Structure 1
């Protein structure tokens, strides 16, 4: 049996509840682009107008959403297992960390998300905690449903359309100024906790800052609806009467600059917008709505801008259509914004990194005219995560072709615009918008458009 260098993939559609409904979801649109997946969906009654479709997994060997080779019964995992060295490359196979965590497997999971409701307030455990949570669930439930692997799950999200996200904690001095200016926020915490936080916010060391943020998060995430619901209602009433730029006036001094605020909103306007979206979706008795609003950075990104999130970092995407890539894991600890205590609140509080960078520092760096794109049409995203990097290639009618020098590891990709012929060695596939593919390691790749291609790869 031959070993193809490039194949079209059959993705895996995930109808997660935060997704856009029906054909409004890019995940649903992309699913219908692949003939075999479209046939499966039509057998099940088609795309349903009232059903949310949150994600489509485009490059996945994970058991929760495995991709297969289009036109065959073979999974992507089985294709790779036929000849791991050929498909993954010697550099990946010989990487001690990768070999330990992802033996003879893809080290990443490549997706498109399409959502208009906030995802759960969440973080992803590191490898040690992931293994513990997996063992605890198996003992408690007799099987694993929420924790099905022990890998860490650092990730990035890059906007395909305007994208809003909660990512990480505000820096302590910024946060102290905002809490002092909003009486409703002060009602969420014990006076002693606030006074201690105020005293340390201006000159705390990194560890002291994290400890102070842990105290605040512990108090707010453990609040009961009877305590925080009146605060939420009071805040809603004052926003309706006075407006965001009055209620959250102090926050405007911390409006992110440049690409971290591509929408051009004031910080106050962004706070009101995400608060209203959260409340509309999950109601006044979901603690995530107020916890995220008070404590977290709000990023507003345009197409091509992205954020990076390490294991144990707090985050919750709010709305947008994005490329998401992560280490090959599906672990999540969460509470709030539609999720009740997945992994336990105490674990949630203890595990967080309490990273507190300004919003501008959370953006993913990239390099246009990447040197491995010989025609200068490829952007390389410098992902601070060992498992993968990202690329985006734009092919126009005046510059319709790109040549990528051989990558050290495998490439999973999706066409997001146009029709693109992808050639690896002597083999080619032509894919249209929404279709995905896989290219083995260590082979030159040619792209012919016009069109747009996004991909994840090990390098």
Structure 2
């Protein structure tokens, strides 16, 4: 493979991102997604042509490294999409290691294996999970047969993902351990009303028996199925009572049984008690979606509440339950846009029975859901690069932090890098080509090339990147 770059084969390009005005986003220029959209000239011109950023419009996401049909990035200043650029010379842009990876080549032929975004939201995202590859294919076929076209399910790829906080970040992620759910239920009469008494008694017996993994998952499945199928009238009978008691007695009185399981360290950067975190997330959900949304009670009763500071994050497997609550985050996932959901503002998508059947029912303590990272990664020659060890085959993440007048050289990566600058301005140099990228702007770097980052201003620079290795 020739590694020679040139006008027709650039090693480095600025990208035109894709703005997604999803309804859970922060409104107007409060959203980082909206702010970032205005930093790329061609995207700003497109936004301005359509009336500009609207103060009362939510802007949930901006896709910064995407070849997906639902939100493709383009090479800035050109009509060429990122996918088209890559496919002019897949070996040059993707690298021989990625092309030789059987899993990658079968699922993402001559394509990026990941989708790189920033999300900015102050309203909970839907209670959701993302199907594995087998189920994704089935959902595509079923929808095509029913509707004659694909709308919700447009690819068959699995969608494991990672979210890393850019600001304080709260999220419901995964099921609590079996005994924690039992304690929350026993201590909160209002939540008990979500279930049939016989269901609760059977669950308590399992929880008290030190169940094995399979029995624990089966017990949680029974609770989730009953909760997510609850009628709006049942939910509406519970939510106002619970809200009233929280207001009168305080979170620690209402959810005090959960405080024995208060997360520590990075899983609870806010320092809240578990009860306080539960009440805050619940109140945000009810304020946003009203007192009939089944997702508010389901998440509150069954799920971990993570609260992270900037730089900390969580990982989610395919078929894992989650619902992000508030924050601005870097999000990266396998190159897919599939979702099965019900509740927290979303009507049934993919089928409630499918939702119940597909979940992993993984039930871990909150601190086991965090992404481990390694500062002073050995590919960063000046010690200014953090590697996030993502347990997902399609990608890993880096953060490069540059004080004024500093630079970092990152040794050649196996696969392509998509990056975004979240603070300051940086000069990126690859194969003798240089590009200045400032806050809110994104770029793409070919596989297999050394990369030099040099602070181009007087402020601290922060760069985030997703890449295959």
**Do the aligned residues in 1 keep the contact of 2:235 with 2:293 (CA within 8 Å)?**
no
Say yes or no: does 1:85 pair with 2:95: no
| 1:152-189 CA-partner distances (Å, limit 9, x unpaired) | 00000000000000000000011101100111111111
| 1:73-115 CA-partner distances (Å, limit 9, x unpaired) | 1000000000000000000000000000000000000000000
| 1:211-259 CA-partner distances (Å, limit 9, x unpaired) | 0000000001001011121111111111111111101111111110100
CA distance in 1, matches of 2:232, 2:79: 50
Q: How does 1:29-428 map to 2 (within 5 A)?
A: 29-202=35-208, 203-397=210-404, 400-428=406-434
**Do the aligned residues in 1 keep the contact of 2:221 with 2:361 (CA within 8 Å)?**
yes
CA distance in 1, matches of 2:40, 2:235: 46
Flag as ranges the 4+ runs of structure 1 deviating above 3 A. Answer: none
**Do the aligned residues in 1 keep the contact of 2:168 with 2:309 (CA within 8 Å)?**
yes
CA distance in 2, matches of 1:307, 1:402: 26
CA distance in 2, matches of 1:88, 1:95: 11
Helix, strand or coil for the counterpart of 1:430?
Answer: strand
Tell me the TM-score normalized by structure 1: 0.99
CA distance in 1, matches of 2:188, 2:325: 23
**Do the aligned residues in 1 keep the contact of 2:423 with 2:463 (CA within 8 Å)?**
yes
Deviation at 1:339, TM superposition (A): 0.6
Deviation at 1:200, TM superposition (A): 1.1
Gaps of 5+ in 1: none
| 1:366-421 CA-partner distances (Å, limit 9, x unpaired) | 000000001000000000000000000000025x1000000000000001111100
**Do the aligned residues in 1 keep the contact of 2:25 with 2:120 (CA within 8 Å)?**
yes
Find the counterpart in structure 1 of residue 3 from structure 2: none
Deviation at 1:197, TM superposition (A): 1.0
Find the counterpart in structure 2 of residue 25 from structure 1: 31
CA distance in 2, matches of 1:407, 1:56: 25
CA distance in 1, matches of 2:412, 2:61: 29
CA distance in 2, matches of 1:53, 1:259: 28
**Do the aligned residues in 1 keep the contact of 2:381 with 2:411 (CA within 8 Å)?**
yes
Q: Greater CA deviation, 372-381 or 447-456?
A: 447-456
CA distance in 2, matches of 1:396, 1:28: 26
Gaps of 5+ in 2: 1-6
CA distance in 1, matches of 2:252, 2:106: 51
Helix, strand or coil for the counterpart of 2:444?
Answer: strand
| 1:137-159 CA-partner distances (Å, limit 9, x unpaired) | 00101110100000000000000
CA distance in 1, matches of 2:429, 2:205: 61
Find the counterpart in structure 1 of residue 451 from structure 2: 445
| 1:52-81 CA-partner distances (Å, limit 9, x unpaired) | 000000000000000000011100000000
CA distance in 1, matches of 2:71, 2:141: 22
CA distance in 1, matches of 2:292, 2:257: 26
Deviation at 1:451, TM superposition (A): 1.1
Deviation at 1:351, TM superposition (A): 0.2
Helix, strand or coil for the counterpart of 2:144?
Answer: helix
| 1:261-283 CA-partner distances (Å, limit 9, x unpaired) | 00001111111111110001100
Helix, strand or coil for the counterpart of 2:424?
Answer: strand
